[in-house]
Structure 1
Amino acid sequence: MTKPNSISVENWICNVLENSQNVKAELFAISLWSIWGERNNRLKGGKGRSPIDICIFAINFLEEYEAARGKNFQEQPGTRKVWSPPRDTTIKINFDAALDTERNRIGLGIIARNSLGKVIACLIEKVQGCLDPTIAECMAAEKAIYLGEKLNLKHVWIEGDSMEAIKMCQDTDVDMSIFGPRMKVLKKQMKAFDQYKISHIGRDGNQVAHILARYALHTTSQIIWLENFRKFITNMTREEAIICIESNELVF
């Protein structure tokens, strides 16, 4: 759709969004966001991506977002499938890892929310190196604990969708794997909180952390948000809060 000279950019964008199907409107919005991010990257001296790379990024980002929102994941019996709020002063920190084997890197996504479902902080980081999926998830758990420490939290609930990683974090036996020394440190760090819990959640209950992990693959350094969260974060967390309200799990 071309932009007529007689209308403003703002009206043109609104016109496109109002007259497009949902998927096309979402792709259009993500493309604009990607172009704006590319503009900021170049102003800061970044190398920059080609227009086709920006298009591919926007398409892949939308596909990942839609996949995370889908309801066709196979979950283990008894696994909780939706995000639930913590109680009282506890902060729940969800974590996830995304692997990009073609580019030999992983993305780590972390989000912390309070008992009202309000986002307290987010962390994303790209790590170079193709790792075992379980080890990558353990690295994400490390970052979840790191974020809890950085926020000076006392009561934390760590949650992820990798059953293997959760079991490694909960295991009291000596870990003889190559990641053993780091797991030992991780468990020690968890005990530094006044109260802590670590549990497994199905993929549907870990959507925001998953999207953040995918988003992290396209960053250059660790980013921590304490405010001014990305729109897709606020939209997804708002949807999950509404579900919690409808099921009487979240009361204002």
Structure 2
Amino acid sequence: MKAAAWWEFYVNCGKKEGNDGLGSSGSQALGLVRDQQRRWVKPREGIIKLNFDGALEVSKGIFGTGAVCRDEQGTCIGVLAVPTVGFVSPQTCEFLALINGLHFCLQAGFTRLEIEGDAQNVFMALNSDQEDLSPDGALVDEAKYLLSFFFSLVVGVIPLGSVIMPLIVWQK
């Protein structure tokens, strides 16, 4: 029951007029890609698609992370919702959503992933070879460590318009 309530909170964050759940200009600062015309695209055969996202209500000090896993048929094979109380940055919230989703996939035994999210800054940090000295540096390191456990991986942001920007492609 709690997960359903938090999911409803997450969905409604972006529906409030003038509020994206991130506070003023939070979406722009995080590099979020918002394209309401975009439809979900199935992954290739044998690949699980992990979609992740974070939502927060800065003024209330609450945030949540979520992840959905679907197979090549588009069938939902796993859902994760993690409600949390605390004050974090929008980027931290997005990293936590990715990390929670990756832990979920590892525990479920999914080893071939396509990962999709809307926070370009998260994917840019993952794609960087430089040490991340920001407050989220430890989260970047953890996400990179978790990604090393997957055999096949395509990572990208939800595209702006019709341009897909895969940033990481990995195969063992």
TM over 0.5: yes
* Deviation at residue 103 of structure 1 after TM alignment: 2.0
Q: Is the 8 A contact 1:163 1:200 kept in 2?
A: yes
- How many angstroms apart in 1 are the aligned matches of 2:14 and 2:123? 26
1:57-206 equivalences in 2 (<5 Å): 64=12, 67=15, 81-202=38-159
**The structure with more radius of gyration:** 1
Distance 1:101 1:90, change over 3 A: same
Partner SS, residue 102 of structure 1: helix
Q: CA RMSD in A?
A: 3.4
* Deviation at residue 82 of structure 1 after TM alignment: 2.0
Distance 1:154 1:63, change over 3 A: closer
Partner SS, residue 130 of structure 1: coil
Q: Is the 8 A contact 1:144 1:158 kept in 2?
A: no
Q: Which moved more, 1:142-151 or 1:114-123?
A: 142-151
- TM-score between the two structures when normalised by the length of structure 1: 0.50
Give the equivalent residue in structure 1 for 2:25. none
Partner SS, residue 59 of structure 2: coil
Q: Match of 2:147, as an amino acid?
A: M
Larger fraction in strand? 2
Q: Percent identity?
A: 23
- The answer for unaligned runs of 5 or more in structure 1 is 1-36, 39-53, 69-73, 205-252
- How many angstroms apart in 1 are the aligned matches of 2:95 and 2:53? 9
* Deviation at residue 172 of structure 1 after TM alignment: 2.1
* Number of equivalences: 143
